[in-house]
C-alpha cells in the first residue's frame, strides 16, 4: 500500500526470509507500463498519468513510501533495484503452464499484468504446438482457363445404392474450365473411364476444332492406369493430379457432382417414377445445368460453348405426363391419335423428347418424338398411364374377330304382297336374340 491509498500490485514475488530489504525490479515496473519520473533525490511512480506512489534516495537505494501496517518487515521499507530476466525461458515456461495457448491470448494476459514482468509476448517456434495444432493450409482461388478445352475437370461419382434401369452404378463427368459446360456418361464400372474419355475427346475436339490441353483428376486407379497415361502422352495432354486425400484441388468436378445429385433428388421427389430412373434424371439435370447461369462464368455455359443463347421455351418438368402423336391405332381413322406417356429426358441426337409408354403386358417402350402435348402438373406412376383410349364399347357377345362376318338372317315373307315394279323399301321387323339396337336408330336392314 503506497502513501495516499494507491495500491501497487506485485506478481510473481520471490519469498526470501534472509534478505534484509524487500526489492522491487525497475525492469518489472517498466514492463507493466509504469513510468518513473525523477526530480532531485525524489521519484514519482506514474501509471496512466496517475501518480500511484513516491520514493526517495537512501543509502544507494530508492526507497518507496509505503504504509506497512500488517506487514512484518525488519526496516519497514521497499527498495527498487534494476534487474533483468531470461525472457525466452520465462515465455516458454508460461506457454507450457497455460497449456500451449496462442500468442494473442498470452498478450492479453500480459497487458493485464498477469504474466509477471512481460508487457508483450512473442512466442518462439514451439514444436509441441506444431505437433498438436497443425491444420490444413487454405486453398486459394485457382487460375481460370482463358479458352475452351484449355483445362478439363473430371471425376467419377458412385457407386449408387440402386442401379439405373440400364445397369449403371456410376457416372463420370467432364467439365470445361473456361465455359463450365459439362458432359456426363453413365457407366457400370470405373474401368469404363478410359472409353468415356476417348468418346469425349473425339466429340469435343471435333466440335470446337481445338485440342484438350490439360486434364485435372483425382488419383483414382481408373485415371492412373497405363492405358490412360499412354493416351494422354499420345495426345499431348498435361495431367494435373490432386494431392492424396485432397478433393478440394478438384473442386470444380466435386461441386458439379453435388449440384447434379441435388437436382436429381429434387426432380425425383416431384415425379412418381421408380428410383431406377435416376440415370434419366441425371442426364436431364446435365442438359438443364448447361443452359442456366453459373456463378463461375459471365453468361451461360451453353452460350460460351456454342456462341448462341440457349432456348428454354421447350423445357418441361421431368416425369410429367404428355400425349404423344401416334396414328398407329387398330381402329384406323376412327382410333385415338394420342398416346399418354411419361417424359424422362431430352433426346441426345434429335430435337425432341424421350418418353416411356406402357404396353398391355406391363412392359415399357421408349418413344422419341417432337409432337408431344404435355400435362406439366400431372406426374403419373408406372401402371397409371392409360395404355389405350377406347372410343367404342363393344357388346360382350360380339367379338372383334366377328365384326366382318356376314349376318345370316332367315325372314318369312309368306302372305306378303309387293306391288309389281315398286321400288319402295320393305320394312321388316327382325328379332335378333342378344342384340340391342339403339333407340331412335335409322339403320335399315336391306334384303
Measured in whole angstroms, the distance separating CA 71 from the mean position of its chain's CA atoms is 71
Residue whose entry in the numeric block shows the C-alpha cell 509476448: 121
Q: What is the mean pLDDT of residues 438-446?
A: 48
C-alpha cell at 170: 456410376
Question: Would you give the DSSP letter of residue 292?
Answer: S
> Rounded CA gap, 345 and 349, in Å?
12
CA distances to 83, 233, 325 from 236, rounded to whole Å, are 71, 5, 49
Judged by average pLDDT, the poorest of 196-205, 286-295, 300-309, 323-332 is 323-332
Taking residues 351-379, report their average pLDDT: 91
* Per-residue pLDDT at 44: 83
Q: What is the mean pLDDT of residues 404-421?
A: 52
| Domain spans in the chain, listed from the N-terminal domain onward | 22-81, 87-133, 152-306, 316-403
Q: Report, as an integer, the average pLDDT of 322-340.
A: 82
SS3 assignment, position 255: helix
Do 163 and 169 form a contact (C-beta atoms < 8 A)? Answer: yes
CATH topology of domain 152-306: Nucleotidyltransferase; domain 5 (3.30.420)
Report how far residue 174's alpha carbon sits from residue 119's, in angstroms, rounded to the nearest whole number. Answer: 58
Interstrand relation of 42-47 and 50-58 (parallel, antiparallel or unpaired): antiparallel
Distance CA 81, CA 62 (A): 8
Dist CA 221 CA 233 (whole Å): 17
Most confident of 1-15, 40-54, 152-166, 400-414: 152-166
* pLDDT tens digits, 174-187: 999 999 999 999 99
Average pLDDT for 413-422: 53
Query: Is residue 288 scored above 60 in pLDDT?
Result: yes
Mean confidence (pLDDT) of the chain:
81
pLDDT of 409 above 60 = no
Q: Which percentage of the chain shows pLDDT scores above 90?
A: 47
Query: Grid coordinates in use for 318?
Result: 421431368
Q: What is the mean pLDDT of residues 127-156?
A: 88
Can you say how many angstroms the Cα of residue 325 is from the centroid of all Cα atoms in its chain? 38
Kindly report the pTM of this predicted structure: 0.64
Amino acid at each position: 500500500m503506497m502513501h495516499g491509498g494507491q495500491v501497487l500490485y506485485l506478481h510473481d514475488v520471490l519469498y526470501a526470509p534472509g534478505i534484509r530489504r524487500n526489492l522491487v525490479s525497475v525492469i518489472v515496473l517498466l514492463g507493466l507500463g509504469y513510468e518513473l519520473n525523477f526530480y532531485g533525490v525524489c521519484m514519482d511512480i506514474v501509471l496512466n498519468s496517475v501518480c500511484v506512489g513516491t520514493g526517495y534516495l537512501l543509502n544507494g537505494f530508492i526507497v518507496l513510501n509505503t504504509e506497512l501496517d500488517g506487514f512484518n518487515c525488519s526496516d519497514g521499507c521497499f527498495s527498487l533495484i534494476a534487474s533483468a530476466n531470461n525472457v525466452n525461458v520465462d515465455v516458454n515456461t508460461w506457454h507450457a503452464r497455460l497449456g500451449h495457448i496462442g500468442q494473442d491470448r498470452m498478450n492479453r494476459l500480459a497487458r493485464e499484468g498477469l504474466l509477471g514482468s512481460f508487457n508483450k509476448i512473442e512466442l518462439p517456434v514451439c514444436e509441441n504446438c506444431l505437433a498438436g495444432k497443425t491444420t490444413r493450409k487454405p486453398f486459394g482461388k485457382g487460375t481460370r482457363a482463358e479458352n475452351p478445352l484449355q483445362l478439363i475437370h473430371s471425376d467419377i461419382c458412385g457407386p449408387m445404392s440402386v442401379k439405373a434401369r440400364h445397369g449403371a452404378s456410376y457416372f463420370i463427368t467432364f467439365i470445361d474450365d473456361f465455359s463450365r459446360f459439362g458432359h456426363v456418361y453413365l457407366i457400370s464400372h470405373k474401368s469404363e473411364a478410359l472409353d468415356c474419355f476417348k468418346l469425349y475427346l473425339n466429340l469435343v475436339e471435333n466440335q470446337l476444332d481445338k485440342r484438350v490441353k490439360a486434364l485435372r483428376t483425382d488419383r483414382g486407379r481408373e485415371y492412373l492406369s497405363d492405358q490412360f497415361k499412354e493416351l494422354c502422352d499420345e495426345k499431348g495432354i498435361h495431367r494435373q493430379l490432386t494431392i492424396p486425400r485432397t478433393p478440394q484441388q478438384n473442386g470444380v468436378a466435386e461441386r458439379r457432382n453435388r449440384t447434379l445429385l441435388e437436382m436429381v433428388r429434387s426432380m425425383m421427389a416431384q415425379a412418381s417414377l421408380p428410383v431406377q430412373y435416376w440415370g434419366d434424371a441425371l442426364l436431364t439435370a446435365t442438359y438443364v445445368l448447361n443452359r442456366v447461369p453459373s456463378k463461375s462464368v459471365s453468361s451461360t455455359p451453353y452460350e460460351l460453348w456454342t456462341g448462341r443463347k440457349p432456348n428454354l421455351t421447350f423445357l418441361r418438368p421431368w416425369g410429367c405426363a404428355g400425349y404423344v402423336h401416334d396414328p398407329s391405332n387398330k381402329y384406323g381413322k376412327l382410333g385415338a391419335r394420342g398416346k399418354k406417356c411419361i417424359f424422362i429426358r431430352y433426346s441426345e441426337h434429335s430435337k425432341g423428347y424421350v418418353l416411356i409408354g406402357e404396353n398391355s403386358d406391363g412392359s415399357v417402350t421408349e418413344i422419341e418424338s417432337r409432337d408431344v402435348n404435355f400435362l406439366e402438373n400431372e406426374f403419373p406412376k408406372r401402371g397409371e398411364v392409360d395404355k389405350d383410349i377406347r372410343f367404342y364399347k363393344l357388346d360382350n357377345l360380339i367379338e372383334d374377330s366377328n365384326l366382318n362376318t356376314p349376318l345370316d338372317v332367315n325372314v318369312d315373307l309368306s302372305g306378303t304382297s309387293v306391288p309389281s315394279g315398286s321400288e319402295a323399301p320393305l320394312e321388316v321387323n327382325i328379332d335378333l336374340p342378344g342384340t340391342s339396337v339403339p333407340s331412335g336408330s335409322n339403320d335399315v336392314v336391306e334384303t
